[in-house]
Amino acid sequence: MHDVIVVGGSYAGMAAALQLVRARKTVLVIDAGQRRNRFASHSHGFLGQDGASPADIATEARRQLQAYPSLRWIDGVVTSASGSKDDFSVMLDDGEAHFGRRLLFATGVSDELPAIDGLAERWGKAVFHCPYCHGYELDQGRIGVIATGPMSVHQAQLLPEWGQVTFLTNDCVSLDADARRDLIQRGVVIEEALIDRLDGDADVLLADGRRLPFAGLFTASRCTPSSPVASNLGCELMDTPMGKQLWTAETKETSILGAFACGDVARAPHSVSLAVGDGAWAGAQIHRSLVWPEG
Ligand code: FAD
Ligand code: MG
């Protein structure tokens, strides 16, 4: 019986585990190794690690964590969770069961991308969602924003901070007079021809045959929890402007008592810094719930 089982050993899960092993709790981390930013070669905006490789940040964090004797790590996939507070179990893809008094879901989210030829293979390389993460490196060049819905208007209004913006509506949003005026006031060019496919570094080929070259492209992906394990246990989901996430209280406890959640799967918006902060907070809150089980 472990004090805590952490499902998902990336930034949020490791930040929580670090607080817990430092409180000398026994922690089992189970991680499938599919970090959300695995498509990008550089991570930006995380203090002290700006521009570092996302994999290097995770590898060094794991090395430091595994130096604590009460930490156990399994590379694997959790396929189900059951039980209740003080008596949870999780099942792995190898058929083994593991037991813990508390559960933490730090399983991240998956990005549903617009179905445009050539987009998925450029994700994290020339197509991004977060201007704070990848805007600066475009050197104030031409930026295309590919609409996925009404929220994309806000993305197009924000991005002129980083370069000359063309908003590609691609039949995914209809602009009323107010939206048009706001975009034009921000210097945004509105392009309503349909997109055929992406080509080259970040060129957009339009259905009418024109080619628009960009330094980089942005699009708002739709986020869903990467793993169904928490919702199958009964943890409630909630809607956000970005998609779906697990509902938690301020303490990061889900609707299932004793089961907590942190990182992208349990907060918005999303970044490495915010996932690490959320994880550190969740770790301390789980520790408190072991000391004061009645809350
Ligand atoms: P994740 O890092 O997604 O980790 C979740 C972990 O849980 C994974 O290892 C996964 O395999 C594991 N897992 C899931 N289900 C299971 C299961 N059932 N069993 C076992 N393990 C499981 N943020 C920045 O701050 N700067 C950037 O430059 C930046 N660039 C990005 C580029 C791209 C292309 C994308 C998509 C995102 C980027 N982000 C960036 C955002 C950043 O990746 C996320 O905010 C961050 O990874 C969230 O951390 P997390 O620990 O919550 O989840
Ligand atoms: Mg994590």
Tens of pLDDT, residues 54-96? 999 999 999 999 999 999 999 999 999 999 999 999 999 999 9
283 and 160 belong to one structural domain: no
**Does the C-beta of 271 come closer than 6 Å to ligand 1?**
yes
Protein residue with its CA nearest to atom 41 in ligand 1 = 271
Q: What is the mean pLDDT of residues 262-280?
A: 97
Tally the domains of the chain. 2
96 and 152 belong to one structural domain: no
Could you tell me the CATH number of the domain that includes residue 15? 3.50.50.60
pLDDT in tens, 221-249: 999 999 999 999 999 999 998 899 999 99
Report pLDDT for 294.
85
Report pLDDT for 55.
97
Distance 187 CA to ligand 2 centre (A): 38
Where are the strands (E) in the chain, listed by range?
Answer: 2-7, 27-31, 71-75, 78-84, 87-92, 97-105, 109-112, 127-128, 142-146, 164-168, 189-191, 195-199, 203-206, 211-213, 216-219, 222-225, 237-240, 243-246, 259-261
Q: Is omega for the bond preceding 269 within 30 degrees of 0, making it cis?
A: yes
Look at the chain and count its residues.
Answer: 295
Out of 172, 203, 219, pick the residue that ends a domain: 219
106 and 227 belong to one structural domain: yes
Cβ(160)–Cβ(185) below 8 Å: no
Sheet holding 216-219, edge to edge: 127-128, 216-219, 142-146, 164-168, 189-191
**Does the C-beta of 32 come closer than 6 Å to ligand 1?**
yes
Angle, vertex CA 271, rays to CA 40 and CA 58, nearest 5: 60
φ, ψ dihedrals at 50, nearest 5°: -60, 125
195 and 252 belong to one structural domain: no
35 and 118 belong to one structural domain: no
Domain that holds residue 143: 114-219
What is the reported pTM? 0.97
137 and 262 belong to one structural domain: no
Q: CA gyration radius for the chain?
A: 21
**Does the C-beta of 133 come closer than 6 Å to ligand 1?**
yes
